[in-house]
Amino acid sequence: MIRFSRAGVSLIFLFFYSCEIREPSFSFFPVNQSDLDHVQSQYFHPPSFRIFQDPITFEANKIIWFAYRPDEINRELPYALSLSRKSLGWVELDIRAHRLETNTEYITNYYKDLEPGEYLLTVALKNKKLGSVIFHIIPERGEEIIDYDAPLAEADSEETPSDDILYFSH
């Protein structure tokens, strides 16, 4: 029978813990644009980031800060950040070259003034895709509120409505 001391078990545990494989991950910090004045928006940096579950959704009035932790750490070459919006296919809107933050292993950046739709954020290094995430931008809450109890506006009697159904229904 093999006997292990507590120190031996601790060393084995530390060895396997240090050999863990890091998975690349995206995390986000949405900021309401109206909460920041011009100077604050120029120098703002999020205090922390959160990992969101699918489907990732933000409102259109938010500045979307993101952080990405790559599994390959490379401080010499810049990482490529690509933002695409889904139309008939993925249409590339923005490409940026960005290096790792100085004393961290993260890439942080932001996008603002994004229109409602579905977006794909991709990170690449040396023409190799490292990671991507799909997120959705939805209209700001309170926009286009429909009051179903309000009566429909009727067309002026002098004008002929362009809709035949409305014209013949009276």
pLDDT per residue as tens digits for the range 114-146: 999 999 999 999 889 998 999 999 887 765 555
Query: Interior CA angle at 84 toward 33 and 139, to 5°?
Result: 40
Helix or strand or coil: residue 53? coil
Element (H, E) at 13: helix 6-18
Element (H, E) at 43: helix 38-43
Higher confidence at residue 94 or residue 27?
94
User: Given this model, what pLDDT does residue 108 score?
Assistant: 87
User: Given this model, what pLDDT does residue 166 score?
Assistant: 72
9 phi and psi angles, rounded to 5 deg: -65, -40
Q: Could you tell me what percent of the chain has a pLDDT over 70?
A: 69
Residue 95 has pLDDT above 50, yes or no: yes
pLDDT in tens, 46-64: 777 888 878 888 888 888 8
User: Given this model, what pLDDT does residue 61 score?
Assistant: 86
Task: For residues 66 and 123, give the distance between their C-alpha atoms in angstroms, rounded to a whole number.
Answer: 12
Cβ contact 119:82 at 8 Å: no
- Mean pLDDT within 33-43: 70
What's the length of the chain?
Answer: 170
43 phi and psi angles, rounded to 5 deg: -115, 10
- Mean pLDDT within 73-98: 90
Environment class of 155 (CB within 10 Å of its CB; exposed 0-12, middle 13-18, buried 19+): middle
Whole-number average pLDDT of the chain: 76
- Mean pLDDT within 155-169: 62
Sheet holding 25-32, edge to edge: 25-32, 62-69, 107-111
Q: 84 falls in which pLDDT band (50, 70, 90)?
A: very high
- Mean pLDDT within 67-78: 85
Residue found by looking up tokens 């993260």 in the block:
106
User: Given this model, what pLDDT does residue 142 score?
Assistant: 60
Superfamily of domain 21-138: Macroglobulin (MG2) domain (2.60.40.1930)
53 phi and psi angles, rounded to 5 deg: -90, 155
Residue 6 has pLDDT above 70, yes or no: no
